[in-house]
């Protein structure tokens, strides 16, 4: 059985991510853990001595969190009811990333599924501040990021950009290989050509990667480098009709470059398809 963590701020985006996750894993036995965290504003200093005020404040916010989770689950149940799926609500007085890290370990979480934006919904944001915090904080569990308003479609073509500069173990892309096999998909490995030809180390890494994915359908593409990597990836997604993009999260990798690129360069790249973040 898979354990899927669904953080929510009760926004439309987080509900859409939850609906996507349920469809994405509809063929598998899953326990979905709906998480909402709350951190009440610090009580004014003159009240600090009177613990009853702080207690009442926390009780009120906890009550809002718990009732919000109940309503959130009711909304989900109006759309989907798969007998192999179960749901558990977690309301926690904690920082979001800290609670997620604790739950990943305590509940043996297999996937985290979150939306690209929270309730603020700034258009200029590539992933959303909470999503970026989760990606940076969680390095032991795959994270599936779902764009706002994206409706579920079976991911037949999965994109996997790489520069062949990293040698990682098969465990890193094992979730990607399993998903590809489950969906009968094809992995489209995309190399951005920043150099005229690969060096010996890159050739070795390419051969190892191709060996890793040999059990599933795959193909290899070489894309010319232009403007920015986000532009190349966006072009690749459109050109090959990619329906899910997978990136390995390691230091100085594609994902960090996309997050760090100036807003002007990445304003058009709003993760048009779901993004699978694989921890290294």
Nearest CA-CA partner of 11 in 151, 161, 198, 148: 148
Please, what are the domains in the chain? 2-146 (3.40.50.620), 157-269 (3.40.50.620)
Maximum alpha-carbon separation in the chain: 69
User: Would the pLDDT of 192 be above 80?
Assistant: yes
In terms of Cβ atoms closer than 10 Å to its own Cβ (0-12, 13-18, 19+), residue 211 is exposed
The rounded distance, in Å, linking the Cα atoms of 276 and 99 is 21
Span of 84-88, 172-176, 215-219, 259-263 with lowest mean pLDDT? 259-263
The predicted pLDDT at position 224 comes to 84
Q: Residue 257: which pLDDT band, with cuts at 50, 70 and 90?
A: low
Question: Computed from CA positions of residues 110, 115, 120, 125, in that sequence, does the dihedral angle turn out positive or negative?
Answer: positive
User: Would the pLDDT of 261 be above 50?
Assistant: no
The rounded distance, in Å, linking the Cα atoms of 82 and 85 is 6
Q: What is the pTM of this model?
A: 0.86
pLDDT, tens digit, for every residue of 80-108?
889 999 999 999 999 999 999 999 999 99
What size, in residues, is the chain? 280
């Amino acid at each position: 059985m898979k354990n899927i963590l669904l953080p929510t701020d009760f926004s439309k985006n987080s509900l859409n991510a939850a609906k996507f996750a349920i469809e994405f894993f509809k063929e598998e036995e899953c326990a979905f853990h709906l998480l909402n965290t709350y951190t009440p504003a610090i009580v004014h200093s003159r009240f600090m001595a009177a613990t009853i005020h702080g207690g009442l404040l926390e009780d009120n916010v906890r009550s809002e969190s718990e009732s919000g989770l109940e309503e959130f689950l009711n909304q989900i149940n109006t759309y989907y009811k798969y007998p192999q799926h179960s749901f558990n609500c977690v309301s926690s007085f904690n920082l979001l990333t800290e609670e997620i890290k604790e739950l990943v370990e305590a509940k043996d979480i297999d996937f985290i599924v979150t939306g690209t934006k929270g309730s603020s919904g700034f258009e200029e944001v590539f992933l959303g501040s909470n999503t970026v915090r989760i990606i940076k904080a969680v390095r032991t569990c795959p994270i599936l990021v779902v764009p706002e308003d994206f409706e579920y479609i079976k991911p037949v073509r999965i994109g996997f950009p790489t520069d062949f500069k990293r040698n990682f173990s098969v465990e890193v892309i094992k979730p990607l290989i399993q998903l590809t096999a489950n969906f009968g998909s094809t992995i489209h490995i995309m190399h951005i050509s920043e150099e005229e030809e690969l060096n010996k180390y890159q050739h070795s890494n390419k051969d190892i990667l191709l060996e890793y994915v040999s059990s599933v359908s795959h193909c290899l593409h070489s894309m010319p480098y232009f403007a920015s990597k986000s532009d190349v990836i966006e072009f690749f997604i459109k050109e090959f009709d990619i329906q899910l993009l997978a990136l390995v999260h390691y230091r100085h990798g594609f994902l960090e470059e996309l997050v760090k690129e100036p807003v002007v360069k990445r304003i058009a790249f709003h993760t048009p398809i779901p993004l699978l973040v694989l921890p290294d």
